[in-house]
A and B are shown apart, each in its own frame.
Chain A
Amino acid sequence: MATNSAGSNDPTVNRRQTKRPKYSKFTQQELPACKPILTPQAVISAFLIVTAIFIPIGVASLIASRDVVEIVDRYEAACVPSNWTDKIAYIQSGADKTCKRELHVEKRMKSPIYVYYQLDNFYQNHRRYVKSRNDEQLRDAGKGNSTSGCDPESNVDGVPIVPCGLIAWSMFNDTYSFSRNNNNVTVNKKGISWKSDRDHKFGSDVFPKNFQNGTIKGGASLNETIPLSQQEDLIVWMRTAALPTFRKLYGKIEVDLEKGDVINVVLQNNYNTYSFSGKKKLVLSTTSWLGGKNDFLGIAYLSVGGLSFFLAMAFAIVYFVKPRQLGDPSYLSWNRNAAGQ
């Protein structure tokens, strides 16, 4: 026969030329596999496991949060003298901005006690704002002239500003000083920024230049003799906040504050939050292993843990009260017209 009738009698030839697919568990899609299904046992135990993990974490978080002592003092309204009705005019005026506040320590605060300022309704995450900086210039002394992206705070009369941009320009400039029983409580302002920022983002040989010399003065001024890497207030400020309400670290108080102590705060209320009706708060807080005071996480863990337990019970009840023969093949009979409709 002249045709290519597939090499009929010679198995060796046949084997060599064959198009037979090779057998392997992979190609035949028979790989060993775990096929989890939502059995009552699995579901209920999954929920119970979640409960078992979440409740302790929730309790621990809540304890940690409760251990933290926090004093919050909102002062932007109170620090405007009552004879000034127009707060904005006040803050923009040259009047004395000194303001005295008293903080009462309700609970013993172990050092270190962190001092924060908290701003509200301040959009540090606005795209125009976030982009208005030049990282090159901050890092590298030789790049002092690169101010791209910094407009309109890039230069004054053609002389570049260092650090340029809206962020630096609008830096927070309220200052706080604390005293207890007429003894000054020192605020340590070292180490309030991230080390990587100090070491790699802000140059140790970059000095502020031509800063806050424009027609409109923004926020704080900078000491032109101190390199940027040591201007930790600036570094903290330049790490923009995620949300319009944020706290930033101001400094650390490295003595314990006892219960009943009255802390006298002398603050310079310089920063204009009145234009955009933002609040200002002074916060003193200790920390735990979990950071500052925030009950949300603990409560959330407990709630979800509780919810899981509730669901576990609910599913258990459903299972015991109304057990269903789910594996009944009659549901799958092709004669049943109703099935699967």
Chain B
Amino acid sequence: MKMKKIHFSKIYSFKFGKKTKFRREHSQIGRQGYSRVVLCNELQDSFESDLIRNYADNSVRSTKYTVASFFPKSLFEQFRRIANFYFLVVGILAFTKLAPYTAVSAILPLCIIVGATMVKEGIEDLRRKKQDIEVNNRKVIFHKGDGNFEYTEWKNLKVGNIVKIKKDEFFPADLLLLSSSYEDAVCYVETMNLDGETNLKLKQGLEVTSSLNEEVKLHDFKATVKCEDPNANLYSFVGSMEFEGQKYPLSPQQLLLRDSKLRNTDYVFGAVIFTGHDTKVIQNSTDPPSKRSKIEKKMDKIIYFLFGVLFLIAFVGSIIFGIVTKRDLHNGFMKRWYLRPDDSTIFFDPKRVVAASVYHFLTALMLYNFFIPISLYFSIELVKILQSIFINQDINMYYEELDKPALARTSNLNEELGQIDTILSDKTGTLTCNSMEFIKCSVAGVAYGRVVTEVEQAIGSISNSSPMIHEHVNRLERTVDSSESHDRKEPIKGFNFIDERIMNGNWVNEPRADVIQKFFRLLAVCHTAIPEVDDDTGRVTYEAESPDEAAFVIAAREVGFTFYKRSQNSLSMRELDPVSGNEVERTYKILHVLEFNSSRKRMSVIVKDEEGRILLLCKGADSVMFERLALNGREFQEKTMEHVGEYADAGLRTLILAYRELDEEEYNEFDNKFMEVKNSVTVDRESLIEELSDKIERNLVLLGATAVEDKLQDGVPECIEKLAQARIKIWVLTGDKMETAINIGFSCRLLRQGMKQIIIHLEIPEIQALEKHEDKMAIIKVSRESVYQQISEGSKLLSASKGTSQQAFALIIDGKSLVYALEDDIKNKFLELATRCASVICCRSSPKQKALVTRLVKEGTGKTTLAIGDGANDVGMIQEADVGVGISGVEGMQAVMSSDIAIAQFRYLERLLLVHGHWCYRRMSSMICFFFYKNITFGFTIFLYEVYASFSGQPAYNDWFLSFYSVMFSSLPVIALGVFDQDVSARYCQKFPILYQEGVQNVLFSWRRILSWMLNGFISAITIFFFCTKAIGLKAFDENGKTAGKDMLGATMYTCVVWVVNLQMALAVQYFTLIQHIAIWGSIALWHFFMFVYGSLPSSFSTNAYKVFVETLAPSPSFWIVTLFVAVSSLIPYFSCSTIKMWLFPMHHERIQWMRYESKKKTNEPE
């Protein structure tokens, strides 16, 4: 590679004016974000080492807390929740005289809950800490000075240090590649930890430093690197190096990123540029946006509602308390003399009744805190973690081929999975495998390749209206029946091309063999793949950046143009010489690679062949390529376009191949300009490069077109059909051409024959005419109008067909139209149209548009959205959606890293949503309802007792009974319900997808249901209180004539509460495993056991619960008879209501339970 040597000072002076002093210049540059100065190999006593000290050291910390900040920070996090804060206030107040119970009993449950959460946080953080320590203490060889290289820990590395990395070691920081064991300073890097891509990337150091490839040579090495400030962009690096008085530009090509691995190279030397938290990979690791499920948001509302109830009853109680207290003392006459109202404390003083009432209000707030379930948040977190474990453990979502189980990366959103209304899906890699197969090509206007694609089969089978066949026809089958004449042993990955005119060297006999030769040469040369030759078999395999690219190189190899060696600036291949029939080797000198990106939609290489000709080889999308053809290069244009259209119809991805010969002069001019731009350190460098590339990639000569098939993943059509049956709307957002998208839509059953398609596009003559005039404003205006009109027409069409038939509609819109459809004034109309269509396909959409569409759906409909994708281009939409699902497939890890849940295959979505989503939704909503139920039941008995204790704030129960209610005697069954309950089995969930609508319509967590449960709680409380007090009443409690005091009534009522809520649980549970039995009956038993143990403690501790069970309650038949009566009769209202509901107004899951029951009865087989 040639280097244009420019003085950096010139660039700076051009940009910022002349600066005399370095420091001032430095500060000026700082504002521009290019301020970093690295003195390579400077040791610490160097004169400008203060600059070095400003940079972070190389130790990293990924923990949330430090030892010092753990307590304050985690406590703060917890008490930010309103309920926890309330409990904290209550806990503090409990230490005052206001408290109706002892402080310890009040604060202990809070401590347990807070402590448990903190332990959980602590363990998670400790795990991260361990990882940090391990990473920080890894060893690396660095230059200590005077040519001595020594091992040191990663954390000790400083900016400017020279390090030596050996094969298969990770880079400890972002390094500037100086030299490697190869002469030309190249090295191979695996960036799996960064982006998940498994292919090797080629990095290359500057020529000037490539000779520094031995330790001794680095002794005196000195260089100053000026570069951009730390940032998160993995694929850019702007900087320059001053070495021996010269300035050299630096590019990402020289930057070795932390956490990537050195491969295939014995060692490299590098200078540390970014350390620790400045490294690109750590700059990149932002926390994903935190998402909360709708249920949790609603739960907050319920808690506020309960706070309202709590305040209200506390207020009412305080007023009545005030009135009653006031009456106690009237003109010095004591009414309730036994309370000594004449000599009272502030809390009960009739003379200061207002103050007493205010204090009483606080007491009441403390007393009624049982309305708010203290353990709710903790239980929910626990339950969600356990639910996620079940998701992760599901063997039906494990993908054998890649060894990937499902992974719930956050457990926050489990129940959200049960409420998805719209799925927004990527196509490539999500619906399809993203394993490309070269399947057809069109060379010199002749179409080659005879394999029938899946889409063609699907369309064929649909139009024949034959029953849907399983569309994933095995590739083997297909090749066998069409390749009798060939002697292929095994299918080749990425290649499914059959045509005897081309194969086995037969192409030389074709009429346009010269074009065919050029065509395959182009495929073998124009790419960035790296060959790997197996020493034993001599077989060549390739590491390519994308599966498409691999497919091309493989195709070229199979046809006989074997690319086998790539060096820094040359590329070698073997090919058949059509004249002699022998295999000959050809080497191309690579002059430039004009890389692919999504806006260019093409890539080119400029090479010099052995004959000295300079060729520009270009491949790209049809939309950009045809316009770049030279007038004399359009020989096959018509035919090729026709073929490309056919390929697109068949669901194939097409690329156009073209080339041009450059003359020396033109090339040199380009080369000069290009190098100049490349070496500049400006922000618009990219666009300048693009502009230059654009200029040279013109006047091309068309060779032909390729078609690769992106196969549908297994089970995608079936999965989509199930999801459609669950009435989940599916939107496909793809970058593909409209034709391809529609055809894929058919093959994955998103579109059905007989569906009316509403297509919105801008390929209308009016606009095309305008485009020729390049009047941009006019185009925009006409386009907007056209889109608006098309949307209106679509709406009309929909309205017209409404009610008349069951016709389903599909909306297909292309990216250009989408730009206008997403504008503020049209987007609601567009959304309205789209939501009324059964399927929506957005083609040619950019990543940003994907995210915008997601936001539109999410905010416009207010429904829950799920985005699923596999690539970096889906990250926006995954983060935007309520639930983001990443496909942990081939295309890297970026989508997975930003997702909430990762699965390996699209088809697992069915199980994830219909089974786990439904279950989790159901469990969570039932669990929360039940939490409120049980706490209202308990809290309201306390309130009712207050009514009979003149609202003095005396709880009916012993202090410890109070405090352990939530934590010990009622939570376990609810948690068990939250983790294990199933209304119907997984099989039935999938058999009847309509069940999923329960979640979408949110019937299980509607206000009606929540309030019914609360009402049920109030009813239970009233029944328990009145039945207990009436049944025990005044009379002797047992045969020995003793009557029941407060302690006994309290314990009996408490026993009834424990029985009732647990039995209620038993009625509500639909899936009774051993665990439920243990939790429910265990809770009841635990209460009795607790009463026994606590009562056996010395009376100084157990106070009025001393021996209350053993001595007074247990021996008395009254106790048991009352408990039985109250427990059963409190459940009758619920039982009757649910029976009536089940019989007369069954919900989906109840119908399915019936069916299961009846079919079981019929077949009499155990399920």
Q: Are A326 and B1154 touching (Cβ within 8 A)? A: yes
CB contacts (< 8 Å) of A136 on chain B: these are 1100
CB contacts (< 8 Å) of B1121 on chain A: these are 57, 61, 290, 297, 301
Bound-state Cα–Cα, A22 to B858, Å: 37
| Residue B725 interfacial (CB < 8 Å) | yes
CB contacts (< 8 Å) of A19 on chain B: these are 398, 403-405
How near does chain A come to B337, taking the closest CB pair, in angstroms? Answer: 5
Convert A250-272 into 0s and 1s, putting 1 for each residue whose CB lies closer than 8 angstroms to a CB of B: 00100000000000000000001
Q: Are A334 and B952 touching (Cβ within 8 A)? A: no
Q: Are B1152 and A275 touching (Cβ within 8 A)? A: no
| Residue B1143 interfacial (CB < 8 Å) | yes
> In B345-360, which residues have CB < 8 Å from any A CB?
345, 347-348
Bound-state Cα–Cα, A116 to B992, Å: 67
Convert B337-375 into 0s and 1s, putting 1 for each residue whose CB lies closer than 8 angstroms to a CB of A: 111100111011000000000000000000000000000
Q: Are B398 and A21 touching (Cβ within 8 A)? A: yes
CB contacts (< 8 Å) of A219 on chain B: these are 338
Q: Are A126 and B952 touching (Cβ within 8 A)? A: yes
Bound-state Cα–Cα, A57 to B1124, Å: 10
Q: Are A294 and B390 touching (Cβ within 8 A)? A: no
A324 to B, closest residue via Cβ:
B1143
| Residue B639 interfacial (CB < 8 Å) | no
Convert B926-958 into 0s and 1s, putting 1 for each residue whose CB lies closer than 8 angstroms to a CB of A: 000000000000000000010011101110100
Knowing A19-B405, A130-B1046 touch, does A304 contact B1129 (C-beta < 8 A)? yes
How near does chain B come to A93, taking the closest CB pair, in angstroms? Answer: 15
Knowing A2-B263, A126-B954 touch, does A37 contact B1043 (C-beta < 8 A)? no
Q: Are A300 and B1100 touching (Cβ within 8 A)? A: no
Q: Are B1148 and A126 touching (Cβ within 8 A)? A: no
Q: Are B338 and A218 touching (Cβ within 8 A)? A: yes
The residue from A31, A275, A333 contacting B1073, defined by CB atoms under 8 A apart: A31
Q: Are A287 and B1036 touching (Cβ within 8 A)? A: yes
Knowing A29-B982, A249-B1043, A327-B1158 touch, does A23 contact B395 (C-beta < 8 A)? yes
Interface size for B (C-beta < 8 A) is: 129
| Residue B1116 interfacial (CB < 8 Å) | yes
Bound-state Cα–Cα, A195 to B1115, Å: 14
Bound-state Cα–Cα, A241 to B404, Å: 66
A1 to B, closest residue via Cβ:
B541
Q: Are B1045 and A200 touching (Cβ within 8 A)? A: no
CB contacts (< 8 Å) of A6 on chain B: these are 402-403
Q: Are A247 and B1099 touching (Cβ within 8 A)? A: no
Q: Are B190 and A2 touching (Cβ within 8 A)? A: yes
Knowing A29-B390, A29-B980, A239-B1045 touch, does A153 contact B950 (C-beta < 8 A)? no
How near does chain A come to B1080, taking the closest CB pair, in angstroms? Answer: 12
Bound-state Cα–Cα, A196 to B199, Å: 80
| Residue B1117 interfacial (CB < 8 Å) | yes
Convert B994-1005 into 0s and 1s, putting 1 for each residue whose CB lies closer than 8 angstroms to a CB of A: 110110010000
Bound-state Cα–Cα, A32 to B1147, Å: 24
Bound-state Cα–Cα, A124 to B1157, Å: 56
| Residue B849 interfacial (CB < 8 Å) | no
How near does chain B come to A98, taking the closest CB pair, in angstroms? Answer: 22
CB contacts (< 8 Å) of B395 on chain A: these are 20-21, 23, 27-28
Q: Are A130 and B954 touching (Cβ within 8 A)? A: yes
Bound-state Cα–Cα, A129 to B336, Å: 11
Q: Are A127 and B954 touching (Cβ within 8 A)? A: yes
The residue from B954, B1074, B1106 contacting A196, defined by CB atoms under 8 A apart: B1106
| Residue A90 interfacial (CB < 8 Å) | no
A323 to B, closest residue via Cβ:
B1143
B919 to A, closest residue via Cβ:
A29
How near does chain A come to B838, taking the closest CB pair, in angstroms? Answer: 12
CB contacts (< 8 Å) of A311 on chain B: these are 1132, 1136
Bound-state Cα–Cα, A193 to B1112, Å: 11
| Residue B24 interfacial (CB < 8 Å) | no
How near does chain A come to B1129, taking the closest CB pair, in angstroms? Answer: 5
Bound-state Cα–Cα, A234 to B347, Å: 27
Q: Are B1049 and A242 touching (Cβ within 8 A)? A: yes
- Identify which of A38-46, A101-109, A179-187 touches chain B: A38-46
A5, A247, A293 — most chain B CB neighbours (10 Å): A247
How near does chain A come to B1060, taking the closest CB pair, in angstroms? Answer: 14
Q: Are B1045 and A240 touching (Cβ within 8 A)? A: yes
CB contacts (< 8 Å) of A95 on chain B: these are none
How near does chain B come to A72, taking the closest CB pair, in angstroms? Answer: 10
How near does chain B come to A109, taking the closest CB pair, in angstroms? Answer: 13
Knowing A6-B403, A340-B1148 touch, does A125 contact B949 (C-beta < 8 A)? yes
Q: Are A153 and B198 touching (Cβ within 8 A)? A: no
Q: Are A125 and B1046 touching (Cβ within 8 A)? A: yes
| Residue A339 interfacial (CB < 8 Å) | yes
CB contacts (< 8 Å) of B1156 on chain A: these are 35
Bound-state Cα–Cα, A127 to B348, Å: 9
CB contacts (< 8 Å) of A285 on chain B: these are 1035-1036, 1041
| Residue A280 interfacial (CB < 8 Å) | no
Bound-state Cα–Cα, A61 to B345, Å: 46
| Residue A34 interfacial (CB < 8 Å) | yes
Q: Are A275 and B404 touching (Cβ within 8 A)? A: no
Q: Are B1142 and A37 touching (Cβ within 8 A)? A: yes
Q: Are B199 and A3 touching (Cβ within 8 A)? A: yes
| Residue B1029 interfacial (CB < 8 Å) | yes
How near does chain B come to A70, taking the closest CB pair, in angstroms? Answer: 8
Bound-state Cα–Cα, A54 to B1122, Å: 12
A283 to B, closest residue via Cβ:
B1034
CB contacts (< 8 Å) of B335 on chain A: these are 275-276
Bound-state Cα–Cα, A304 to B392, Å: 48
CB contacts (< 8 Å) of B1155 on chain A: these are 326-329, 332
Q: Are B1118 and A290 touching (Cβ within 8 A)? A: yes
| Residue B394 interfacial (CB < 8 Å) | yes
CB contacts (< 8 Å) of B993 on chain A: these are 334
CB contacts (< 8 Å) of B1046 on chain A: these are 124-125, 130, 239-242
How near does chain B come to A84, taking the closest CB pair, in angstroms? Answer: 17
Q: Are A127 and B953 touching (Cβ within 8 A)? A: yes
Bound-state Cα–Cα, A127 to B959, Å: 13
Q: Are B393 and A291 touching (Cβ within 8 A)? A: no
CB contacts (< 8 Å) of A145 on chain B: these are none
CB contacts (< 8 Å) of A242 on chain B: these are 956, 1029, 1032, 1044-1046, 1048-1050
How near does chain A come to B101, taking the closest CB pair, in angstroms? Answer: 10
Knowing A29-B986, A242-B1045, A275-B336 touch, does A307 contact B404 (C-beta < 8 A)? no
> In B1022-1054, which residues have CB < 8 Å from any A CB?
1027, 1029-1050
| Residue A282 interfacial (CB < 8 Å) | no
The residue from A2, A125, A152, A290 contacting B543, defined by CB atoms under 8 A apart: A2
The residue from A61, A127, A200, A292 contacting B949, defined by CB atoms under 8 A apart: A127
B190, B1033, B1147 — most chain A CB neighbours (10 Å): B1033
Knowing A127-B954, A334-B725 touch, does A135 contact B1103 (C-beta < 8 A)? yes
A6, A14, A35, A300 — most chain B CB neighbours (10 Å): A35
Knowing A19-B405, A20-B403, A276-B336 touch, does A195 contact B1036 (C-beta < 8 A)? no
CB contacts (< 8 Å) of A292 on chain B: these are 1034-1037, 1041, 1043
| Residue A288 interfacial (CB < 8 Å) | yes
How near does chain A come to B96, taking the closest CB pair, in angstroms? Answer: 14
Q: Are A308 and B1118 touching (Cβ within 8 A)? A: no
Bound-state Cα–Cα, A240 to B1158, Å: 57
The residue from A33, A152, A192, A339 contacting B1042, defined by CB atoms under 8 A apart: A192
| Residue B655 interfacial (CB < 8 Å) | no
B1141 to A, closest residue via Cβ:
A38
A124 to B, closest residue via Cβ:
B1046
11 additional contacts (CB under 8 A) given A20-B398, A31-B1074, A192-B1042: A19-B404, A21-B405, A33-B1072, A35-B1153, A57-B1125, A128-B345, A243-B1049, A249-B1036, A287-B1038, A304-B1128, A340-B1001
9 contacts between A and B (CB under 8 A): A6-B402, A36-B1072, A50-B1132, A124-B1046, A126-B954, A151-B345, A247-B1035, A249-B1036, A296-B1033
Instruction: Return the 5 tightest CB-CB contacts between A and B, nearest first.
Output: A292-B1035, A292-B1036, A114-B1041, A170-B338, A242-B1049
